[in-house]
Amino acid sequence: LVCDSKTAPAPRVDYGRMTDFSTMPDWVSYQSMQNAFQRDKIFADYYFLPRSGRMEAEIDTPQGRKLLFSGYNYLGLANDPRVVEATQRAVQIYGSHAGAARMVGGEIDAHRELEQELAEFTGHEDAVVCVSGYGANVSVLAYLLGKKDLLVHDNLMHNSGIAGGVQSGARRMAFPHNDYDTLERILAEHRDHADRVIILVEGSYSMDGDIADLPRLLEIKRRWGCWLMVDEAHSIGTLGETGRGLAEHWSLPSSGIDIVMGTLSKSFSSCGGFICGGKPMIALLRTYAPGLLLYSTGISPANTAAALAALRVLKAEPERVARLQENSRMFCVEARDRGMDIGDAAGLAPIVPVIIGHDMKGLRVASRLFEQGVLAHPILYPVVPRDSSRIRFFITAMHEPAQIHHTLDLLQKELAD
């Protein structure tokens, strides 16, 4: 059958509008947001704000030097001379890219070195490293689960975990944040109707700065025959005496967590994602999970070397973790002393939300802080429920106590106004 433009049937409707991006529903809300910013003179320059130098406790921006509480460089390793030098050396040795998917020509020896050291660090048998944490969550969940399975996740789970669940085709159910009684009720009702079940939580939560109750989760996953997957994007390098994450914090063997997901883009001051677990699971993921190593290029030599060097500095200098934890605790104690609402944050995670309430007030307070030299981003609806806007502070080991006091003083003044 030959069907060219002369013989093909004519379209019955004009599809032209559907090729116009401005008919996308988000375009309407994007424009009304921009209009509201202009109409109400809301300052929004701190979004996509370019930094002209390194990410330290302070950064250089077009609006001048700002004290930064919006960075993932938790341990300050991005600028460590050993990390910078290892990154440069890797480019000299391997060139700029991995060159291909790892299975078919893109493997460098540093990939395996990093994986083995990550596995040893987290107390697991093996690990696999890929180009993004987001991608790791999506690929792993989409590969491990299918239509007959169930994903039960905390309702504050990061979007990448949800996206993986959706892609897997598994039934997906959320339980209220840290509400393990409801998790049990869900399992009591639905466990029998599913083959495999993954309970998915974060080690420490990026919106609320609180942590998961691992002892309780282990008990539940054993009782109901589930896999436990923990996204440790924010907890590795920050939780536990030596930064080994959630299991170390609770003084439990890490092998109880079946699937540890992590990112290289936070404490490890690089870019990429990883999964740690038992040898069979890692072998399966390495070989069969689309998007992890399969159909995706290997993580770059520079990113691999940066993460490996950062991991080695972290192991050699656990005092960085102690400093980070001390700063987080100090921030929480002093914020509460000043009457601020920081939810359940207790200084265990390096994330402290100061809950402001009305969205416009959240924006106004963040703008005033920015004008006075402090950069911390407001988080608004729909990322958090309406009118529970918050300014989220990422604490690092680089912050000095005086910088924390100063910031809280400014904030207290703004909240009183």
Q: Is 235 in the site for ligand PMP (CB under 6 A)?
A: no
Q: Is 396 in the site for ligand PMP (CB under 6 A)?
A: no
Q: Is 115 in the site for ligand PMP (CB under 6 A)?
A: no
Tell me, by CB under 6 A, how many residues bind ligand PMP. Answer: 14
Between 175 and 224, CB nearer to ligand PMP: 175
Q: Give least dist CB 265 to ligand PMP, A.
A: 4
Q: Is 132 in the site for ligand PMP (CB under 6 A)?
A: yes
Q: Give least dist CB 264 to ligand PMP, A.
A: 7
Q: Give least dist CB 274 to ligand PMP, A.
A: 9
Q: Is 139 in the site for ligand PMP (CB under 6 A)?
A: no
Amino acid making up residue 301: P
Q: Cis peptide before 176, with omega less than 30 degrees from 0?
A: no
List the one residue from 69, 134, 175, 268 that touches ligand PMP (CB under 6 A).
134
Cβ atoms of residues 302 and 145 within 8 Å: no
Q: Is 165 in the site for ligand PMP (CB under 6 A)?
A: no
Q: Give least dist CB 158 to ligand PMP, A.
A: 4
Q: Is 202 in the site for ligand PMP (CB under 6 A)?
A: yes
Q: Is 248 in the site for ligand PMP (CB under 6 A)?
A: no
Q: Give least dist CB 328 to ligand PMP, A.
A: 16
Q: Is 231 in the site for ligand PMP (CB under 6 A)?
A: yes
List the one residue from 235, 265, 296, 388 that touches ligand PMP (CB under 6 A).
265
Between 122 and 265, CB nearer to ligand PMP: 265
Stretch that binds ligand PMP, among 8-16, 228-236, 339-347, 367-375 (CB under 6 A): 228-236
List the one residue from 61, 160, 304, 388 that touches ligand PMP (CB under 6 A).
160
Stretch that binds ligand PMP, among 20-28, 130-138, 213-221, 242-250 (CB under 6 A): 130-138
Q: Binding residues for ligand PMP, per CB under 6 A? A: 132-134, 137, 158, 160, 202, 206, 231, 233-234, 263, 265, 273
